[in-house]
Amino acid sequence: NAFRERFKAFEYDFMLNSGQSDAPDPNGLITFQADPDGFSHSFWTHYTNPQVTKLMRLGRVTADGPERKQIYAEIQQILADDVPYIPLYNPDNIVASLATIHDLTPRINGSVLFQDTWVQQ
């Protein structure tokens, strides 16, 4: 459709979208939004900054916690200065069920896996 074609061609000035990271790691969402060579190719933002790309690659292979924290802090500062996207909010994800529901598996990103879920009769 027309929207999809314009979206793929980056023929827009602004877009409201939703998304969240699938893992509690800073690399996930940053890569999705800002890595032109990553799995999304900065698909949502069309953002490219060689310094951010270099730091993301370094962060992925850095095992030292404090050093890795500093790398991602620098990335976040660059993104705050460049403003390729504006996160509006991060929703709380709450999962509740009856005591008769078993093996309900909430994931770290708030989605729920139901393939092993069963109801006690």
pLDDT score, position 21: 67
d(Cα 26, Cα 97) in Å, to the nearest integer?
30
pLDDT score, position 64: 93
pLDDT score, position 45: 78
d(Cα 11, Cα 31) in Å, to the nearest integer?
22
d(Cα 6, Cα 76) in Å, to the nearest integer?
29
Per-residue confidence band for 75, with pLDDT thresholds at 50, 70 and 90? very high
Say which CATH class 2-82 falls into: alpha beta
Q: pTM for the full model?
A: 0.68
Nearest CA-CA partner of 41 in 8, 72, 18: 8
| pLDDT over 70 at 41, yes or no | no
What is the length of the chain?
Answer: 121
Percent of the chain with pLDDT over 90: 40
pLDDT score, position 100: 96
Report the chain's mean pLDDT, rounded to a whole number: 84
Helical H segments across the chain, by residue range: 2-8, 26-34, 50-61, 65-82
* HSE value, Cβ hemisphere, 13 Å, CA-based, for 107: 11
Q: What is the pLDDT of residues 6-24, one digit of tens each?
A: 877 878 887 777 666 667 7
Neighbours of 32 (CB within 10 A): 20
pLDDT score, position 92: 75
Domain boundaries, the chain: 2-82, 92-121
| pLDDT over 80 at 110, yes or no | no
